[in-house]
Structure 1
């Protein structure tokens, strides 16, 4: 009988082979899991240009927290110009050939046919006006009921509607640079002003329809400036005006009887008499919350105490005092407010913050976001691609 001088050798060899097999299996499992993870990230809309494990995990956590939505999706064609807004409890979709009203569950309530090249919606809390920019047609609604329609003599440049039912329209003019018309709730023309020297950007009926605020571009100097006019409907000349040199003021908001004018690098607060109450300068202003009932919320680049400029969200009161200030999560292109909650919109994400700057959640969309509205404490209606849906963002910091 032969004897094996090393009876353990076969066992040892077997153990080494087993370890190699286990390592190979684990490496294969990691490769498969990594591939599956990358595919899942791609399908979820993750941006691989800034790929990192930490960011990817945070992205999926945000998706998990934010997509728990009890929503009904409304889809629409993206062919041509489409405008979507929330109005009087309805979701309104305006296209080049129709206007449609949906309820909160996504049910189509009403559809009216129309023909427009560049359709836009403008609304107040009570009324809505539909117009064809660069065209001449306009339609005035209260809820789903059309109160009047009109074909103007000249092409429409811009328009606005007040809670009192006054529609203010900026139009082209054959003999002047532009014109401003105010049309009352019955469709009757109440005021007209022809502007020969300056170009009108926007206009609003204010103070219960007694006055008209007109925002003009001035071109009589080397650099373009702004003139803000306060006009009484019974007088030919304005009773007050404010000139701002070297700055364009694209946005004017109403706060009670006062005006908040937001420019490229300045915020102006004007009282009922058209006098400047305060102003706040910035290096640049990106956007502002369109509702200014209690707070004025602005996203922009503001100088710090050390003198350096940083991108911030600032919350101001009516006196211009900074109540809260916090860093922006990304480049903000849109905002909304509801109670003590702030919605911050970027190209593909929606952030939910408290008014004091506490992050409460985030939603990341697959497609580019066109608009977003706060409809509850943690419910957001988003317009993305060819759909509108309401998503629920978990009330927790991500």
Structure 2
């Protein structure tokens, strides 16, 4: 019996697929996949989706493609287990691990290595000198270029350390009788100053005025919120020559700017002279990072409020009077700044933007992997440290 006979006189119509609608669905699926892939790419290069529109997104991606530069001159691999510290000192690339320290040149050639046994090695340096310090350990190895000048094993565990231009190594250590201690060791490895701090926790310390004064950065925990006490000491006197207290702020970054000292916290920057007098103070909604100390400027990346009350993410260049001499919008969220002459390398998660200090963009580099650190070493070259790799790249 046929189907038509089962259904009486009404024939059954079997609907055939519409080829046109199938093609449309196929192309819509392809478009959706392209849009998703484009969104993932935008996210990987740091596009801000809060300000999304299709034209700006396409322009942002186009600029990244045009500005990126893929060639590298040096290629150094290292362990990614988190125990390696990589820095740039003078013209050397330094790779620190628990097993020792290695010096490389910019071409990636190994120049020297020294076997050491350390718990948590970090590098502290000035323009001339370098110290390999075992944080949470007790050992210090002090170098000029590739030559070791001295080594010390301290009596207490090391908390922090700084190296001055004159070769003083200022070390903060634990103390059995007190909360912490500050020790200054000169360029020959001889102790020149010791101070025990009984009341407050010492965050860091550094020498000033050619090594004759010592600034101690202490965290005050007596109030509801932690505050700061900057203590200015002479190596020839027992009592401080000046004390400067700041409530409700902690300053992890303290830099020498010319003859003054800049202290940078989460939302405040303060400039002091070497006698502990505040010269000016500037507030921000948030400070993301600060450039290493220069002779003329304090350079910050963060979220700042303008006179109209609106806040935006900007790079701010302040002179020693606290005046805003240059200011420009951040291309992305900045996580680090390196300075070479009047040029700035602004580091993000995957990119390095090259700007003049006046805010003119002159180059851009995109890394294949997440950038851990970057050092501008020439007018358009930078040492870039990513996960497990160090490269010398050209930014153009």
| TM-score using structure 2 length | 0.86
1: CA distance, partners of 2:392 / 2:66: 15
The equivalent position to 1:146 in structure 2, one of 115, 125, 148, is 148
1: CA distance, partners of 2:341 / 2:211: 28
Secondary structure of the corresponding residue to residue 131 of structure 1? strand
Secondary structure of the corresponding residue to residue 59 of structure 1? helix
Within-5 A mapping of 1:196-275: 196-275=198-277
Moved over 3 A (4+): 44-61
Show the counterpart of 2:6: none
1: CA distance, partners of 2:134 / 2:205: 17
The 8 Å contact of residues 169 and 203 in structure 1, kept in 2 or not, is answered as yes
2: CA distance, partners of 1:275 / 1:38: 55
| Structure 2 unaligned regions, length at least 5 | 1-18
The 8 Å contact of residues 92 and 101 in structure 1, kept in 2 or not, is answered as yes
Q: Deviations over 1:165-195 (max 9, x none)?
A: 1000000100111100000111111111000
The 8 Å contact of residues 103 and 111 in structure 2, kept in 1 or not, is answered as yes
Show the counterpart of 2:108: 106
User: How far has the Cα of 1:49 moved from its partner?
Assistant: 10
The 8 Å contact of residues 317 and 323 in structure 1, kept in 2 or not, is answered as yes
- Of 290-299 and 161-170, deviating more is 290-299
The equivalent position to 1:353 in structure 2, one of 337, 352, 355, is 355
2: CA distance, partners of 1:139 / 1:147: 8
| Structure 1 unaligned regions, length at least 5 | 1-19
1: CA distance, partners of 2:241 / 2:45: 55
1: CA distance, partners of 2:247 / 2:357: 33
The 8 Å contact of residues 140 and 152 in structure 2, kept in 1 or not, is answered as yes
The 8 Å contact of residues 229 and 242 in structure 1, kept in 2 or not, is answered as yes
The equivalent position to 2:167 in structure 1, one of 165, 168, 172, is 165
User: How far has the Cα of 1:364 moved from its partner?
Assistant: 2.1
- Of 210-219 and 376-385, deviating more is 376-385
The 8 Å contact of residues 66 and 391 in structure 1, kept in 2 or not, is answered as no
The 8 Å contact of residues 291 and 336 in structure 1, kept in 2 or not, is answered as no
Compared CA separation, residues 122 and 359, structure 1 to 2 (3 A): same
Within-5 A mapping of 1:1-398: 55=57, 58-59=60-61, 61-394=63-396
